[in-house]
Structure 1
Amino acid sequence: MNKKSYFGDLMLFLAAFIWGTAFVAQVAGMDRIGPFTFNMARSIVAVISLGAYLIFTKAKLPKDMSFLLKGGLVCGFFIFVGTSLQQIGLQYTTAGKTGFITSFYILILPFLTMIFLKHKIDVLTWISVIIGFIGLYLLAIPSLSDFSMNKGDFIVFLGSFCWAGHILVIDYYSKKVNPVELSFLQFVVLSILSGICALIFENETATLSNIFSSWKPIMYAGFFSSGVAYTLQMVGQKYTKPVVASLILSLEAVFAALAGYLLLDEVMTSREFLGSFIVFLAMIFSQIPKDLFKKKYIGLK
């Protein structure tokens, strides 16, 4: 690995750490406001902080703005759907479980690359998907007699598809434009879409007094989780392949569970711990190079 690859991996690791600890802020932030209002407020903070950075550094806009604007719209759409489902799901499940179920995108990503990039799915990927679903079942379903997922778990699981798509579109756009400008635009889109939904679905609670009463978690999630972490992801993916990026970002689940345990006094059963461990093993297993065993076999001949 060259220095740029190490730099990219470090940026992604820091992003995963910030996101994992931010689940605590995301839970606390919805004591008085709804998920769309929270996302609108946090994204406005991100827009202001990133806008200030771009002005301070005197960033130059590209001559052809169309590609950058298109990237901002596409990335903004994926992050809007993903964060909305995540925030809604958090109302019904724990921060630790949300972190692990969200990280299921690492198993979804190979399928999306097969569909959109025409990549074939190897045997190891199929095995990792099966292992992952077993772990997800143990994590999200309380007992063998209960074959229905918790509503929050299922909503968060749907959001993991959006996060997989988000990684793909970032991989495509971030290598061709300024990643900070791209991050700025995606949060402009997120703030607008979340604001519209807040006015429609959360009209009674989306008040300035309620928003200001939640200013601490909003500021943390807006500045660190949104403004800083998503920009770190943009920068990191310039130098890291999508599958490697998804593996590093999946560490968010570990940090989320740890933060929920230390800061929110959340308790996970032995069954849920086992499920979390199996899901994480599946994440790692899915990244094993498919020719690894072939090389070892050839070496033994």
Structure 2
Amino acid sequence: MSTSATVTQRRLPALAALTAATAVWGSTFLVTKESLTDVAPTSFVAWRFGIAAVVLASVRPGRLRALSRHERQRATLLGLFVAAGFLLQTTGLQHTAAGVSGFLTGASVMLIPLVAAVAFGARIGAAGWAAVALAGVGLALLTRGGGGSPTLGAVLTLAGAVCFAVHVAGLSQWATPANAYGLTAWSVGVAAAASWVVSLLAGQAAVPESGGAWRALVYVAIVATCLGFGVQAWAQSALSATSAAVVMTLEPVFAAVIATALGSEDLPPAGWVGGLLVVVSMFVAELGPRDCCDARAPRIECC
């Protein structure tokens, strides 16, 4: 069998697997939103990352031990932004539709070049500025709910997207094939600890009492987080960074479609137009020229 045929045989299953994982990540917006009737946002995030941290550390403990002191310091900083991002996003879900939350969170992709420029002196090319312009118009349509001022949920979710952008920009600067898993597992552990502290201070720390809340937690922590990470790592070994980026850019689309079909949410026409512009901006940002390694690094949604 020729090498090209072997590559093609690997690409098709990898594309299918990564598409399925992306759909799972998109579904977490609705799953999380519906679980917030039974558990407080800070408690949900704490349990989610607590479970994921235990699993990730148990699977490859050697990767954690292999991290240098400097790498652990960097992973700790990344974990704090992870915690802040998810706490803001999950709290925002109480005040906004799951589909809108998916599009707003997706805006973190176009924010990454801006963060990289400010924090690491990276140069923003034409593709980066085009992505910012497109997403700006889309976000204006998405955040204004019925046409008035931006909603509280939209503001919180956008703040979370900024935190995600900082995390990915940092990971793109500091991650290598050798330390990516260790950085991710350590940052997830830090995110869990930080989320528990916030939950305790807010008086929201509690053991979920409903079966639905536990099913949601197992789904987002094990299926979307740990299994999703494994699927992504395997799939990207057979795909180019561009192919993987295109597939994963569809996450907010899956979020909106699933929320509309299964969650009975109604996104107005202006919202769909705004969401489309955000997705287009994500494609532009992902496919434009870039020198960083963020396409090879683990995405935080799956970790």
TM-score by length of 2: 0.79
Query: Where in structure 2 are there 5+ consecutive unaligned residues?
Result: 1-6, 290-303
Matches for 1:33-182 after TM superposition, within 5 Å: 33-54=39-60, 59=62, 62=65, 65-143=68-146, 146-175=147-176, 177-182=178-183
Query: Who wins on radius of gyration, i.e. which is larger?
Result: 1
Deviations 1:182-206 (A, max 9, x none): 3322222111111111111134xx3
Matches for 1:286-301 after TM superposition, within 5 Å: 286-287=285-286, 289=288
> Which residue in 2 is equivalent to 1:275?
274
How far apart are 1:153 and its partner, in Å? 0.8
Deviations 1:264-285 (A, max 9, x none): 1111112211211122222223
Distance 1:239 1:74, change over 3 A: farther
Query: Where in structure 1 are there 5+ consecutive unaligned residues?
Result: 291-301
Q: Which amino acid aligns with 1:155?
A: L
Classify the secondary structure of the residue corresponding to 1:207.
coil
Larger relative contact order (C-alpha < 8 A, sep ≥ 6)?
Answer: 1
Give percent identity, aligned residues only. Answer: 22
Distance 1:74 1:6, change over 3 A: farther
Q: Provide the C-alpha distance between the structure 1 equivalents of 2:112 and 2:63, rounded to a whole number of angstroms.
A: 33
Q: Which amino acid aligns with 2:69?
A: S
Matched positions, count: 284
Distance 1:211 1:37, change over 3 A: farther
Q: Provide the C-alpha distance between the structure 2 equivalents of 1:97 and 1:201, rounded to a whole number of angstroms.
A: 26
Deviations 1:209-251 (A, max 9, x none): 5376621101111112233335666788899999987655432
Worse-superposed segment, 2-11 or 158-167: 2-11
> Which residue in 1 is equivalent to 2:294?
none
Q: Would the aligned equivalents of 1:179 and 1:235 in 2 still touch at CA under 8 Å?
A: no
Distance 1:244 1:140, change over 3 A: farther
Deviations 1:21-72 (A, max 9, x none): 11122112211221110011111211232233226xxx46555631442243
Q: Which amino acid aligns with 1:66?
A: R
Q: Would the aligned equivalents of 2:82 and 2:164 in 1 still touch at CA under 8 Å?
A: yes
Distance 1:125 1:54, change over 3 A: closer
How far apart are 1:19 and its partner, in Å? 1.7
Classify the secondary structure of the residue corresponding to 2:149.
coil
